[in-house]
């Protein structure tokens, strides 16, 4: 059985049961190929009495994946550069930090240097860290694995460090690949913070560091992470050779906010003459997320007006228009909150 335990690395209890069931079914089909089995009709006890061979398990492994792996998706996010307003210099910096190592590793080698292992995006909430990470992943045309720190911890209680290991394993399989740890402060908080179970936190941290340090083998894998609480991270994560580069994503400047307004008003039916440049001064101190909220609230007001109109005039054609006063009202609303 030792061999079985080796090939079921990363499996939790439920996965093992599914694997046994699948292996038994494979054996059954092998010894009685002519019978059309009604899977649901065969009690588990009966299946369990079968003499299942190693071979069956190996075949079953192709069908049954450990749940940690199943939860780690390689995806292509649906965010493009044009969906990120402003932050032009940051976009260039990200391209250099993220795309170059993945696309031109040989040039780094020729120059006798190594690109940073990990890149950390840090900045206040709602300023586009997650958005930028998705955009860079999409635009650089490599595989993307996205993991949310809090979700990983809560989903795999007691299995978290195993889940961390699986993430890196999956990343190696999917190379060239960007792994994005969003809200990483939840995953590897400073020790002694007392927030989560200290033992779990410790194990997850050491697993994470071990994987990060072993990154030489992670050729073609780039680790990206984001946090709005840099001070909450365990300092070990920030040591040279780990997250070598911390990129600050600041609150948007006037120019950035104008561009963010453009992004979020782009597909809305705007009243003629609404000019994003005039919205800048009324939104000072707003984050990108707040600007998105203003635009959506303004659109909702337009919808409310249109619905009221339809109710009054069921036979007339209605045109939904977002007006300057909708936007002003939404801005005022948020300024008051
Ligand atoms: N530069 C931007 N351009 C366009 N939209 C933006 C920009 N920044 C933020 N937004 C809007 O705000 C939303 C939230 O941004 P995002 O999730 O990237 O913030 P974050 O920095 O990751 O925040 P948190 O620290 O809370 O995770 C985005 O989905 C987007 O709608
Ligand atoms: Mg985020």
Nearest ligand, measured from the Cα of 228: 1
With a CB cutoff of 8 Å and minimum separation 6, the contacts of 135 are: 77, 79, 80, 81, 83, 84, 91
List the Cα angle 88/89/90 in 5-degree steps: 90
Kindly tell me if the per-residue pLDDT of 69 is higher than 70. Answer: no
CB-CB contact of 289 with 126 (8 Å):
yes
**Average pLDDT in the chain:** 86
Full-model pTM: 0.78
What structural domains does the chain harbor? Answer: 2-65 (1.10.8.60), 74-248 (3.40.50.300), 254-336 (1.10.8.60)
* Predicted confidence (pLDDT) per residue in 154-187, tens digit: 776 677 888 888 888 888 878 888 999 999 998 8
The residue behind tokens 């030792």 is 2
Q: Is the CB of 129 under 6 A from ligand 1?
A: yes
For the residues 28-55, what does the mean pLDDT come to? Answer: 71
Q: What pLDDT does 336 receive?
A: 84
Q: How far apart are CA 326 and CA 309, in angstroms?
A: 16
Atom number in ligand 1 closest to CA 182: 27
Ligand 2 centroid to Cα of residue 287, in Å, is: 12
CB-CB contact of 86 with 250 (8 Å):
no
Provide the CB-side half-sphere exposure for 257 (13 A, CA). Answer: 21
The residue behind tokens 């961390």 is 164
Q: What pLDDT does 12 receive?
A: 67
Q: Is the CB of 289 under 6 A from ligand 1?
A: yes
The residue behind tokens 């840090």 is 122
SS3 309: helix
* Predicted confidence (pLDDT) per residue in 195-252, tens digit: 556 777 888 888 999 988 876 656 788 899 999 999 999 999 998 888 989 999 999 9
């Amino acid at each position: 059985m030792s061999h079985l335990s080796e090939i079921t690395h990363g499996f939790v209890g439920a996965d093992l049961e599914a694997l046994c069931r699948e292996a038994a079914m494979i054996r059954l089909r092998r010894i009685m190929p002519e019978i059309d089995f009604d899977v649901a009709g065969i009690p588990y006890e009966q299946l369990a009495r079968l003499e299942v061979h190693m071979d069956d398990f190996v075949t079953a492994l192709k069908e049954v994946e450990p749940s940690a792996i199943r939860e780690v998706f390689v995806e292509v996010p649906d965010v493009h550069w044009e969906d990120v307003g402003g932050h032009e210099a940051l976009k260039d910096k990200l391209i250099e930090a993220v795309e170059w190592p993945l696309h031109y590793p040989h040039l780094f080698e020729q120059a006798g240097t190594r690109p940073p292992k990990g890149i950390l995006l840090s900045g206040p909430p709602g300023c586009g860290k997650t958005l930028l990470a998705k955009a860079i992943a999409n635009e650089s045309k490599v595989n993307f694995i996205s993991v949310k720190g809090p979700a990983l911890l809560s989903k795999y209680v007691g299995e978290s460090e195993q889940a961390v290991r699986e993430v890196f394993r999956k990343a190696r399989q999917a190379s060239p690949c960007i792994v994005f740890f969003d809200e990483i402060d939840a995953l590897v908080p400073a020790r002694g913070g007392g927030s989560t179970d200290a033992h779990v936190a410790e194990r997850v941290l050491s697993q994470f560091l071990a994987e990060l340090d072993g990154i030489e083998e992670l050729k073609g894998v780039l680790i990206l992470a984001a946090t709005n609480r840099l001070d909450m991270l365990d300092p070990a994560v920030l040591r040279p050779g780990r997250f070598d580069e911390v990129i600050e994503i600041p609150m948007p400047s006037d120019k950035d906010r104008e561009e963010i307004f453009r992004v979020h008003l782009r597909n809305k039916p705007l009243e003629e003459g609404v000019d994003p440049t005039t919205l800048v001064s009324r939104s000072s101190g707003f984050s990108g997320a707040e600007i998105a909220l203003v635009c959506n609230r303004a659109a909702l007001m337009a919808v409310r007006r249109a619905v009221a109109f339809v109710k009054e005039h069921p036979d007339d054609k209605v045109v939904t228009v977002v007006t300057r006063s909708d936007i002003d009202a939404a801005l005022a609303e948020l300024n008051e909150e």
